[in-house]
């Protein structure tokens, strides 16, 4: 009986890997009970780390058959193996490590690593599943080029898929068949994928902005081919939108989606080979609702957008999970807003945030968007990391504006393509590209809890000024009894008695700046005074829900009905209706 408490992993204890992997060659011989994996790793000591210790590779539920270093087979006294690792000492600075292992996909009921379900071999490697396929440095800051050769009896698995481009296929001397895949873009092990089985295929072509033709394939269980049209169309629209809005073009010759009923993670963005539960791909007018179509569009886009925000630029460690997930959720929200109704999408996202994330932020499991410790990383795939993480990116977009945000994102891609990045890298790129000091914004990533913003307005008839007194407070959360003030962007407008927008001239500025603007509440208490306000206005506050906060503005039912009738901001018209109801 185990009695010891598991030791938490701490962000402050991050150290770069002692060894790096430049290239991976896998030879996978499929068998339900005893799949054999030959792994050949081109390795070297990391010059930026303490490289004096032994090599410790992660591995679980594997049977080790052989270890070779530079093609010399090691005796059992030259390495140590236990339930979770393989340790080898006295290695040169550069070397080739080869291991031969077996695993049992058919009995892998945890569905992480390589498993077999409904006759189909499938993988799920995020966050730490690759170690169940072979011994490896199973951490996201170890990025390598992968070649994968899959061998199987044809009747067992007629279709053999992995990451990248297919560079060879054919028959083996013993009558089996094989396919060899090469992914030229370095990636962490969590993005590895292998799918093999009896699958039908739907194919199309997408021409990129540079004129390349990319083959698009959706693989499904036989009989479902007629339910792939909408998913394929959503994929093509996602690819075009990412080119137009973020300047991101797809990089491989082929993009594949596998949609099977047995996949347990919803959807996974493996490089060039996305794997979905088929409920997020299959649709036909007689079997799917409008909500089903919207979900398919959103999730197809989300996983495709990961190709740049998650794959080409990945996370240095799992504490940075929000870097890929929060950013990519923001991107898929923007895509849906452009494809459908932006106000309707914003309302739906805020309802989701308030229903799922606000209670999380206010309960015993409250944690920052970037946690500083964890015991089990799979427990941090939360509404806070995803949905609140997206709201943080949206706030930066609001602060910078679309043009400067795009410049910041372009700089982020330029600086960190092919790297494992951090939240600091992201904020630095946006600050430099957007020419804005975002130093204080890091608090949003480190501080748990939902801020409450209190706003009181007062009109002075003698000076024709309107003053907004704003304050913020965040309640204590587990492990964080005291809270710092956060930079909170608040979009607002003022309406006159006829419901017309009033020009906003903030005290201290030379001229009015339109009828809707953003002010930033960056202190615990702050005053914003507007000049040339001819009459008592009705304020429209937190337009578009520009920050994930709880707003207390002490407005009356009369104010709400007035805003329902006259506010030009669609979100606030809806919000006023909710409060009035």
pLDDT one-digit tens code per residue, 455-476: 999 999 999 999 999 999 999 9
Question: 441 and 463, same structural domain?
Answer: no
Strands 525-531 and 505-506, how do they pair?
A: antiparallel
Q: Answer yes or no: is 278 within a domain.
A: no
Q: Evaluate if residue 1 carries a pLDDT over 60.
A: no
Question: 508 and 476, same structural domain?
Answer: yes
Q: How far apart are CA 580 and CA 557, in angstroms?
A: 6
CATH of the domain at 34: 2.60.40.1730
Count other Cβ atoms within 10 Å, centred on residue 278: 19
Return the structure tokens found at 155: 């009747």
DSSP-assigned beta bridge partners for residue 117? 120
Q: Answer yes or no: is 464 within a domain.
A: yes
CATH of the domain at 470: 2.60.40.1840
8 A C-beta contact, residue 549 and residue 453: yes
Banded pLDDT at 86 (limits 50, 70, 90): very high
Question: 481 and 571, same structural domain?
Answer: yes
Does the active-site annotation cover 303?
yes
DSSP-assigned beta bridge partners for residue 204? 216
Q: Answer yes or no: is 3 within a domain.
A: no
Question: 160 and 23, same structural domain?
Answer: yes
Residue ending a domain, choose from 198, 213, 248? 198
Question: 431 and 468, same structural domain?
Answer: no
Q: Answer yes or no: is 261 within a domain.
A: no
DSSP character at residue 356: I
Q: Evaluate if residue 157 carries a pLDDT over 60.
A: yes
DSSP-assigned beta bridge partners for residue 520? 489
Count other Cβ atoms within 10 Å, centred on residue 93: 10
Question: 553 and 482, same structural domain?
Answer: yes
Residue ending a domain, choose from 165, 183, 198? 198
Q: Answer yes or no: is 96 within a domain.
A: yes
pLDDT, tens only, 8-45 = 999 999 999 999 999 999 999 999 999 999 999 999 99
Q: Evaluate if residue 279 carries a pLDDT over 80.
A: yes
Q: How far apart are CA 567 and CA 561, in angstroms?
A: 10
Residue ending a domain, choose from 446, 465, 487? 446
Q: How far apart are CA 89 and CA 84, in angstroms?
A: 17
Active-site residue, from 128, 221, 297, 303:
303
Strands 85-88 and 55-58, how do they pair?
A: antiparallel
User: Would you call the peptide bond into 423 cis, given omega within 30 degrees of 0 as the criterion?
Assistant: no
Question: 435 and 334, same structural domain?
Answer: yes
Question: 155 and 34, same structural domain?
Answer: yes
Q: How many domains does one find in the chain?
A: 3
Q: What is the pTM of this model?
A: 0.98
Question: 130 and 165, same structural domain?
Answer: yes
DSSP character at residue 162: E
Q: What is the pLDDT of residue 3?
A: 59
Q: How far apart are CA 555 and CA 536, in angstroms?
A: 14
Q: Answer yes or no: is 358 within a domain.
A: yes
Return the structure tokens found at 241: 């939108």
Mean pLDDT score across all residues of the chain: 98
Q: Nearest-CA neighbor of 544 among 506, 580, 573?
A: 573
Q: Answer yes or no: is 220 within a domain.
A: no
8 A C-beta contact, residue 141 and residue 130: no
Whole domain around residue 73: which residue ranges? 14-198
Q: Answer yes or no: is 319 within a domain.
A: yes
Q: What is the pLDDT of residue 4?
A: 72
8 A C-beta contact, residue 266 and residue 277: yes
């Amino acid at each position: 009986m185990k009695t010891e408490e598991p030791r938490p992993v701490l962000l402050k204890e991050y150290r770069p890997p002692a060894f790096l992997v430049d290239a991976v060659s896998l030879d996978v011989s499929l068998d339900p009970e005893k799949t054999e994996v030959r792994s050949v790793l081109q390795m070297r000591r990391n010059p930026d780390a303490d490289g004096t210790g032994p090599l410790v590779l992660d591995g679980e539920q594997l049977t080790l058959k052989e270890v070779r270093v530079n093609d010399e087979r090691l005796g059992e006294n030259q390495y140590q193996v236990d339930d979770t690792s393989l340790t080898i000492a006295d290695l040169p600075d550069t070397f080739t490590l080869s291991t031969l292992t077996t695993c049992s996909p058919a009995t892998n009921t945890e569905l992480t690593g390589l498993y077999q379900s409904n006759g189909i071999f499938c993988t799920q490697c995020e966050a730490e599943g690759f170690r169940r396929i072979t011994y490896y440095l199973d951490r996201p800051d170890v990025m390598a080029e992968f070649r994968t050769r899959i061998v199987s009896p044809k009747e067992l698995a007629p279709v053999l898929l992995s990451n990248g481009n297919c560079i060879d296929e054919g028959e083996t001397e013993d009558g089996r068949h094989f396919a060899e895949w090469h992914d030229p873009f370095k990636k962490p092990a969590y993005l590895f994928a292998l799918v093999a089985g009896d699958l039908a295929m739907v194919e199309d072509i997408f021409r990129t902005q540079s004129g390349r033709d990319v083959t698009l394939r959706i693989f499904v269980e036989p009989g479902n081919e007629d339910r792939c049209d909408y998913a394929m169309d959503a994929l093509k629209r996602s690819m075009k939108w990412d080119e137009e809005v973020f300047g991101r073009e797809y990089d491989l010759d082929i993009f594949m989606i596998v949609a099977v009923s047995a996949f347990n993670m919803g959807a996974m963005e493996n490089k060039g080979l996305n794997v979905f539960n088929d409920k997020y791909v299959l649709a036909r007018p007689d079997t799917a609702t409008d909500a089903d179509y919207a979900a398919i569009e959103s999730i197809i886009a989300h996983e495709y957008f990961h190709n740049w925000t998650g794959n080409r630029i990945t996370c240095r460690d799992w504490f940075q999970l929000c870097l890929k997930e929060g950013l990519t959720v923001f991107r898929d929200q923007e895509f849906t807003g452009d494809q459908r109704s932006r106000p309707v999408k914003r309302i739906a996202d805020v309802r989701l945030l308030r229903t799922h994330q606000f209670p999380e932020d206010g309960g015993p499991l409250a944690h920052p968007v970037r946690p500083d410790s964890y015991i089990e990383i799979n427990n941090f795939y939360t509404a806070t990391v995803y949905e609140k993480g997206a709201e943080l990116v949206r706030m930066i977009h609001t602060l910078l504006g679309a043009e400067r945000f795009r410049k910041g994102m372009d700089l982020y891609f330029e600086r960190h393509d092919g790297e494992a990045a951090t939240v600091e890298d992201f904020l630095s790129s946006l600050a430099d590209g957007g020419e804005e000091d975002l130093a204080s914004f890091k608090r949003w990533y480190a501080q748990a809890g939902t801020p409450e913003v209190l706003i009181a307005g007062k009109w002075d008839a003698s000076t024709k000024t309107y003053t907004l007194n704003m304050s913020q407070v965040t309640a204590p959360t587990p492990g964080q009894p005291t809270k710092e003030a956060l930079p909170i962007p608040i979009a607002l407008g003022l309406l006159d008695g006829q419901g017309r927008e009033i020009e906003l001239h903030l005290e201290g500025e030379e001229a009015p700046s339109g009828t809707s603007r953003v002010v930033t509440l960056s202190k615990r208490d702050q005053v914003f005074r507007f000049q040339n306000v001819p009459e008592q206005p009705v304020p429209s506050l937190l337009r578009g829900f520009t920050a994930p906060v709880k707003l207390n503005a002490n407005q009356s039912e009369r104010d709400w009905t007035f805003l329902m009738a006259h506010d030009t901001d669609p979100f606030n018209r809806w919000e006023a209706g909710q409060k009035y109801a």
